[in-house]
Amino acid sequence: MKTTFAIVLASLLAVGAAGCLSAPFQPPSGMVSITKAPLSTEGNWEVGEKRGEASSTSVLGLYASGDCSIGAAARNGGLKKIGHVDYEYVNVIGIWQKATVIVYGE
């Protein structure tokens, strides 16, 4: 029983370390990490009054779903012009991960 548990735990950690769903920039982290940063540093950084988000989620690196594209985020926020793009990345021991793109504009 202990051997099976150890194998399952090692497999989960290996999948999490593989970076199946990863952010453009990830600082060193522990068991849980929440990272927010600009996705793009080019342009004039106009934040604007509107905001749109789009996300995708991964479970165990085996199943992933969602559309976290800039286009999906702009559609979700009703934006016609994009002035700035951020992202948020959440990782819980590599078991559950979520990437969110946040667009600002008009």
Whether 47 and 75 have beta carbons less than 8 Å apart is answered as no
Q: By C-alpha distance, which of 76, 80, 78, 79 is closest to 67?
A: 76
Residue 11 is predicted with a pLDDT of 59
What is the predicted pLDDT for the residue at 21?
47
Q: Which residues of the chain have pLDDT under 50?
A: 17-21
The predicted structure's pLDDT at residue 79: 93
